[in-house]
Amino acid sequence: MRALANFYREREPAILGGGFILSLILAWQSVPSLVSLPQGISLFFTTPVEVIKAFHQLVVQNQIQSHFYVSAVEFIVGLALAILVGLPLGLVMGRSKILDAMLDPFVTAFNATPRLIFLPLLILWFGIGIWSKITIVFVGAVFPLLINTYEGVKNVDRVLVNVVRSFGANEWQTMKTVVLPNSVPYIVVGLRLAIGRALLGVVVGEFFAASRGLGYMIANAATNYKVDVVFVGVTIFMGLSLILTYFVKKLESRLSRWRPETAKNF
Amino acid sequence: MVPCIQASDVTLTFRPKDREAVTAINGLTLEVARGEFVSIVGPSGCGKSTFLNVLLGLLKPDKGEIQLNGKRISGPGEERAMVFQEFGLLPWRTVLANVELGLELKGVAADTRRKRARGLIELVGLTAFENHYPHELSGGMKQRVGLARALVTEPEVLLMDEPFAALDAQTRDLMQTELLQIWDRAKKTVIFVTHSIEEAAYLSDRVVIMSARPGKVKEVLRIGLPRPREYEMRLSPGFNEIKSRIWSTLKEELVTRIGGDGAQR
């Protein structure tokens, strides 16, 4: 008894959180056996067990795997391109007045505009295959990365720049030893935003025009009233978002070992 | 003999974009001998730190020049190193990596610079803390790291910009004593900027008193106290006399500054 109480006390948040989700799922599962749903509603209703069955079937048919593969490629390639472009561009824009002045109107205009606006155009240009999705992921993710990196560079401590310059550091060494490490917390925030935008790009892009991918799977299932398949897709996206958030947090704490505890949650 | 540092008629004006130009130093002339310990005191905003930054090579004067061993200073160089007021430690680097910085930027091989850095960390008594990050250290320890970092490239001239201003009184006394010991052993030329008359008098061979902005040398005072300096000297009547002489010269400038500067602050 004592051991059980201790077991509970040590894991209280996990037990309460997990227990609540579990009871919600149970409640959901028991709805059809408690009340008889009118036909108009039961057509669009499903239960957790049916969702699991649908998931199992889709896995057996190798459908989930092939849709997931397409979405994953779009997400990873688009995000990788956004990092490759946004990060260096943010760094140089923060350090060079000329580039800042040249590119600032462009960046501000694009950042203020909802980037999904470009989707029809991108589909005209790149077709309904993965490249239109990669580009929409890219334009969604590149700006938060660029802007946050830029902010980080602008907030660099002048004294620290003077310290390395007093040791004869050139611009590249100043970047490497002070500007970049100083920007890391900002870059991580940018990455977190960028991941959200990238997922949004994948889903909406595939809703809009695609023949593969998890977003396409959801949209297509909804059109055919396959509510259980829709839930399979939604659950997968939820799971992916949770996993990605977890990895960003891991990355953040790894990169901020040097910071005082109080400053870490910003 | 050529003096170690020879500043002649150094003048520098800051021209901020949307504010009025400010002449920080105007016609500053000063000579410092090799191995000398010289303090600079003066009213706030008189250009003491600006002068150090010109010496360091981070700022270029509009007029005049500073020569080091007969050669004009045109940029940072390894004969000079600065100890910064708020320590200026890179917070994401450990003590060891902070001290290694100067050697790393010069491209010294990793094991050589590690060895040199460890030697200096030992000199300032922080061996047990070489893997700590700056936020885990006290103010006094941070400035010891700052000192070790400045010494690692074996500079001839040590520039110190109010290095002990952020420390509590006791730590400050302790650091002053340690600095004098290191200076005595390493035979560096030291230019030490401070607000504290007592600190200037206790540490220095000469104290330079600057005028209010735009700053130039108002008076140079030779401190006749014997070396090595002992803490007890601060309690002697002679020491008090030195302090009051510095103070009386400085006071005129403080009055000028408060009178003429009211509109700008």
**pLDDT tens, A190-220?**
999 999 999 999 999 999 988 999 999 999 9
Residues B85-102, mean pLDDT to the nearest whole number: 94
Domain count, chain A: 1
DSSP label at B18? T
Which of A159, A173, A260 has its CB closest to that of B88?
A159
**pLDDT tens, B8-21?**
999 999 988 888 88
Q: CB under 8 Å to A211, separation ≥6 — which residues?
A: A128
Residues A52-69, mean pLDDT to the nearest whole number: 94
- Are the beta carbons of B105 and A168 separated by less than 8 Å? yes
Of all residues in chain B, the one with the smallest CA distance to A180 is B92
- Calpha distance A148→A89 (Å, rounded): 11
Q: CB under 8 Å to B173, separation ≥6 — which residues?
A: B231
- Calpha distance B79→A233 (Å, rounded): 66
Name the minimum distance, in Å, from the CA of A99 to any CA of chain B. Answer: 19
Using an 8 Å CB-CB cutoff, list chain B residues near A259.
91-92, 135
Residues B18-26, mean pLDDT to the nearest whole number: 89
Q: At residue B59, what are phi and psi to the nearest 5 degrees?
A: -120, 145
What is the crossing angle of helices A180-208 and A227-255, to 10°? 170
Q: Which residues of A touch B (CB under 8 A)?
A: 159-160, 162-169, 173, 177-178, 181-182, 184, 257-260
H-run or E-run covering A234: helix A227-255
Which of B57, B91, B101 has its CB closest to that of A258?
B91
- Is residue A90, in this structure, part of any structural domain at all? yes
Which of A159, A165, A181 has its CB closest to that of B76?
A165
Tell whether B14 lies on the interface with A, counting CB pairs under 8 A. Answer: no
- Is residue A259, in this structure, part of any structural domain at all? yes
Confidence band for A266, pLDDT divided at 50, 70 and 90: very low
pLDDT number for residue A210: 86
Residues A251-255, mean pLDDT to the nearest whole number: 86
pLDDT number for residue B12: 93
For the domain that residue A107 is a member of, what is the CATH number?
A: 1.10.3720.10
Tell whether B205 lies on the interface with A, counting CB pairs under 8 A. Answer: no
pLDDT number for residue A254: 86
What's the Cα-to-Cα distance from A100 to each of A104, A108, A138, rounded to whole Å?
6, 11, 21
Name the minimum distance, in Å, from the CA of B99 to any CA of chain A. Answer: 12
pLDDT number for residue A233: 95
Whether pLDDT at B262 is above 50? no
Residues B102-106, mean pLDDT to the nearest whole number: 94
Percent of chain B with pLDDT over 70: 96
Q: What is the pTM of this model?
A: 0.82
Confidence band for B265, pLDDT divided at 50, 70 and 90: very low
**pLDDT tens, B162-212?**
999 988 999 999 999 999 999 988 889 999 999 999 999 999 999 999 998
Residues A164-177, mean pLDDT to the nearest whole number: 93
pLDDT number for residue B263: 42
- Is residue A30, in this structure, part of any structural domain at all? no
Amino acid B58 reads L
- Calpha distance B195→A72 (Å, rounded): 62
**pLDDT tens, A76-90?**
999 999 999 999 999
- Is residue A12, in this structure, part of any structural domain at all? no
Which domain covers residue A112, as residue numbers?
49-264
User: How many Cβ atoms sit within 10 Å of the Cβ of residue B226?
Assistant: 7
pLDDT number for residue A253: 86
Tell whether B220 lies on the interface with A, counting CB pairs under 8 A. Answer: no
- Is residue A1, in this structure, part of any structural domain at all? no
**pLDDT tens, A213-239?**
999 999 999 999 999 999 999 999 999
**How would you classify residue B9: left for phi > 0, otherwise alpha for psi between -120 and 50, otherwise beta?**
left
Confidence band for B39, pLDDT divided at 50, 70 and 90: very high
Name the minimum distance, in Å, from the CA of B53 to any CA of chain A. Answer: 9
Whether pLDDT at B78 is above 80? yes
- Is residue A42, in this structure, part of any structural domain at all? no
- Is residue A43, in this structure, part of any structural domain at all? no
Which of A163, A169, A258 has its CB closest to that of B88?
A163
- Is residue A20, in this structure, part of any structural domain at all? no
Q: Three-state DSSP class for B193?
A: strand
**Edge-to-edge strand list for the sheet holding B5-14:** B22-32, B5-14, B63-68, B71-72
What is the residue-averaged pLDDT of chain A? 91
Percent of chain A with pLDDT over 90: 76
- Are the beta carbons of B88 and A165 separated by less than 8 Å? no
Which of B84, B102, B105 has its CB closest to that of A159?
B84
